[in-house]
Structure formats: structure tokens, C-alpha cells
Structure 1
Amino acid sequence: MVNGDIFYFSWELDFLHWLQGIHNPILDKIMINATNLEDYVLILLLIFIGLTVFPRSRKIGGTLLVATIVCFLIVNVGMKTFITRCRPCWLEPSVKLLVNAPHSFSFPSGHTNAFFAMATAVFLRNKKIGIPCLAIASLIAFSRLYLFVHWPTDVLGGIVTGIVSAIIGYMAIEALSKLFGRIKKRIKEKKYENKFEIN
């Protein structure tokens, strides 16, 4: 039984069929492991929270945390609730899947969204570490196509929403950092003024 609205470009299904033709045991294992990295998102969130405790990593931890929360709200709470797009694996159930068929709607790709949000957040703070993170995010995005659970435009949508979420996270932390900086400066000035008056 097909769930959701069926809309896709013809080239998308052609591309997914082509990917099915290049399957082999080595690629299968790589793609399954890549897509299963989502199982560690909760652990990553705890790490992000931990990073905010230390002054040197506070900004990158805060950016990662905000970006992850924003991307979850945009995609899982927002877009997937209103855009009820059918997945390719629902449309063609005869295709043998290497992973369990997801139950949520297709657009945009949640895996792609989450990992591009995190990778872009790292890149905005540290390009040297961010580049390999973006490479991993790209592999995860590709795995969703290889495994026949997303349309290419789902993945493109996930990339865009992930990057936007990271930029929002970056800007939010920068704004908070400046705000707290001004508050801290004002407190110091007030203490100095009080000390001067007492003397």
C-alpha cells in the first residue's frame, strides 16, 4: 500500500534504479553503516552539551546544539508534518531493501538534514575539522539514495535545511556571545564605579 502523495521527477526514479544496478557487497556494507550513524545522534547531542561547559569549546558546542535543535524543529516538527511525500520504497515495494523501510514521510531527508546541520556548524567554527565532517555528511546523504529510501530532491532539501539550521545556530550563538559580553563589561564597569565612589 502506497502512503502519502506521489510526486517526483522522472530522472529521480531513473537515477535510483541506476543506483540499484551498482549494488555490491562492499558498497552495501559501507552504505548501511553510514546510514546507521543516525543511531548516535543522541550521544552526539550529549557531547555538544558537554562542549558548552568549557570556555574554549563553548561556541562550537553551542552552535552544534542550536543547529541540531533547529533542524529537528524545521524538518520533523514542521516540514514532514505538512509535506506528505511518498518514499520511493513505498512506491516500489518490490525493490529489496537493505534496511527497514522508514515510516515517516519522505521530504526532506532527516538523516541528510541532521548531519549537514552538524557538519556545517563545525565548518563555520573550524574549517580544518569541518571539511571531513562535510564529507561524512555527504556519504550519509548518498546512502539514503543508494538504499532506495529517499528521492534525490529529498536529499537536496535536507542539505539546504541543514545548512540553514547551522547558519541560524551560528548567528544565534554569536548574538548571545555579544550580549553576554556587553553584560559582563557593564557589570565590571559598575563594580569599578562603586569601588571609586567608596574610595
Structure 2
Amino acid sequence: MDVLLQLDGNILLWIQEHVRNAVLTPVMTFITHLGDAGWTWIALAIVFLLVKKMRRTGVLMTCSLLGSLIVNNLILKNLVARTRPYEAVDGLQRIIEAQRDLSFPSGHTGSSFAAAVVIFLTCPGKIGVPALILAFLIMFSRLYVGVHYPTDVLAGMITGTLIAVLVCRVYQKKHRKVLES
């Protein structure tokens, strides 16, 4: 476990030293704030709910976002209780405000993948692929700004994806039963 923690910290320090720069920093700061409280994904879910042809996607996104909130932010963060990397890794400097909650898993990443995977699974590729790209950018931005460990964002990506797939499968199973009745 110590080796994993050391690797996590070393990756963040490498990003800080070799990737951060004056051009990319404002872009990554903007991207990371797109994930704040899931607002971007909530807004997209509302848009989908308002468009009749996209309503199913909006409903599934809403369910996935709620699932991510419960699993990642209410259960896992409190169960694991991991401190933020800028509080534990010597030399790491965050470039956004201090975060109010715990580190593991990344809620930004979890909600991004919970929503983006639903969009990817239920919409045409011209909508689904950009949603996944945005989710990956938000995930990387959390490392770039120094507020999450790599294992935090990896866990958020996995839980968000699993929640989205589960929500879509449950919907499909229930929908099939209704059609068969």
C-alpha cells in the first residue's frame, strides 16, 4: 500500500513539474470547474429531459448522477476518509481553492463518467464521444490542479462507469418486461 501511495504522489509531482504551464493552467482550471457539484452534467440532463426524443437519456443521466452522489460522495468518501494530496505530498501545490470534502474517490470524475457513459450508451456517437472526452478532461484536470491522487480519479471513473452501465441495464430490463406484458 505504501508503494501505491508513493507512486500516486510521484505522478502528481511529475505532472506539476513537467505538464503544468502558463498556457494550460487556465484551461485546466476552467475544465475542472465544469465538474463542480456536477452542474454541467445536471444542466445537460435537464436539457435532455426537455427534449422529447432525448428524455430517456435525461432520466438515465439523473439516476446515474444520483447513484454517483450516493456511492462516491456519501458512502466511499466517508468510509475511506483519505486526505487531499496537497495536504500529504511534500512539494505538491494545488492551483485551485482548497476542497471541502475528502479525496477518495473523485466526485468530479464519478459524476462525469456516470453522465457521460449514459450519453455514450444512449445517444449517437457525435454526442456520446464528446461527452466521454469531456469526462476524461475533467478527470485529468483534477490531477493537474493537484486536488486528487491518480487512484482517486481511477476509482471515480470505475464507479461512475459501473453506475451508468447498471442504470442503463436496469432500464432496459424493466423496459423489456413492459413491452412483453
When normalised by structure 2's length, the TM-score is: 0.87
- Matched to 2:77, the amino acid is K
8 A Cα contact 1:64 1:122, kept in partner: yes
* Aligned residue among 108, 111, 136 for 2:108: 111
After TM superposition, give the deviation of residue 55 of structure 1 in Å: 4.1
Q: Rg larger in 1 or in 2?
A: 1
Report what 2:176 is aligned to. Answer: 178
- Percent of residue pairs identical: 30
After TM superposition, give the deviation of residue 42 of structure 1 in Å: 3.8
Greater shift in the superposed pair: 170-179 or 74-83: 170-179
Report what 1:32 is aligned to. Answer: 29
Deviations 1:35-79 (A, max 9, x none): 000247346435524534554212211111111111111111111
Report what 2:161 is aligned to. Answer: 163
**Is residue 2:65 matched to residue 1:101?**
no
* Aligned residue among 59, 71, 95 for 2:56: 59
Compute the RMSD of aligned alpha carbons.
2.3
CA distance in 2, matches of 1:124, 1:87: 32
Residue correspondences, number = 178
CA distance in 1, matches of 2:72, 2:38: 15
Which runs of structure 1 show a deviation greater than 6 angstroms over 4 or more consecutive aligned residues? none
**CA gap 1:49/1:33 in 2 versus in 1, 3 angstroms:** closer
For residues 37-48 of structure 1, the aligned pairs below 5 Å read 37-39=34-36, 41-42=38-39, 44-45=41-42, 47-48=44-45
Report what 1:85 is aligned to. Answer: 82
8 A Cα contact 2:106 2:148, kept in partner: yes
When normalised by structure 1's length, the TM-score is: 0.79
